[in-house]
Amino acid sequence: MNEVNVLLTLASVHFIALMSPGPDFALVVQNSTRYGRQTGIAIAFGLSIGILIHSILSLTGISYLVHSHPTLFLLLQLMGGSYLAYLGLTGIKSIIQSIRKSSQDKKPGKDFTLNSKKQAFTRGLTTNLLNPKALVFFVSLMSTLVPASMSVEGKVAALVILWSLSLFWFALLAWALSTKRLQLVLARVAIYIDVICCLLFSILGTAILWQAVTQLLTN
Distance, CA of 185 to CA of 113 (rounded, Å): 22
Task: Report the share of the chain in percent with pLDDT over 70.
Answer: 93
Length of the chain: 219
Report the amino acid identity of residue 56.
I
Residue 171 has pLDDT above 90, yes or no: yes
Residue 162 has pLDDT above 70, yes or no: yes
Half-sphere exposure of 28 (CA within 13 A, CB side): 30
Is residue 170 a contact partner of residue 43, using CB atoms and an 8 Å limit?
A: yes
Say what the pLDDT of residue 115 is.
65
pTM: 0.83
Closest CA to 206 of 9, 5, 23, 3: 23
In tens, the pLDDT along 3-58 reads: 899 899 999 999 999 988 889 999 999 888 888 889 999 999 999 999 999 999 99
Task: Report the share of the chain in percent with pLDDT over 90.
Answer: 32
Is residue 197 a contact partner of residue 27, using CB atoms and an 8 Å limit?
A: yes
In tens, the pLDDT along 92-113 reads: 888 887 777 766 554 444 444 5
The crossing angle, in degrees rounded to 10, of helices 23-35 and 117-129 is: 170
Read off the pLDDT band of 71 (50, 70, 90). Answer: confident
